[in-house]
Amino acid sequence: MTATTGKATGSFTIKGWDEQPYAEAEGAPKLTHARVTTGYTGDLEGEGSYGLLMVYHQADATYTGYERFSGTLGGREGSFVLRLEGGFQDGAARTTWTVVEGTGTGDLTGLRGEGGYLARQGEAEVAYELRWSLG
């Protein structure tokens, strides 16, 4: 079987954000957990649901988490999980994505990929890119 490759581009919007602290100590960085839902348009059409673990140091933050995307990628229907790594600095969140191997379902079984986005504070829509391969 030959591999199919592509680059998915488009945008997403945050539909829901629920962030709660889970460990706070005076004089120490705050730790929070955020539950987030997103809506995707473009080459990715569908919805995402993810959890982030965040550590705040003054006005900046570092985070990691996992997102399950459900919908279509270039017309192929299924779901997959992304590992998110990033940080918020100078009014922007820079996030890198890696498709977790073995998490693709349906027409997306065997999906591999990486990409990410840069979200500036106050932006309603955030542009993304995912370089992917199947097979």
119-129 pLDDT tens trace: 998 898 999 99
Q: Report angle CA 94, 75, 72 to the nearest 5 degrees.
A: 50
In a 3-state reduction of DSSP, which class is residue 57?
A: strand
pLDDT tens-digit series, residues 63-106: 999 999 999 999 999 999 999 999 998 889 999 999 999 999 99
Rg over alpha carbons for the chain, rounded to the nearest Å, is: 16
CATH class of the structural domain 4-134: mainly beta
Q: What's the pLDDT tens digit per position in 50-72?
A: 999 999 988 899 999 999 999 99
Give the per-residue pLDDT at 59.
82
Q: Are 30 and 24 in contact (CB under 8 A)?
A: yes
Predicted structure pTM score: 0.93
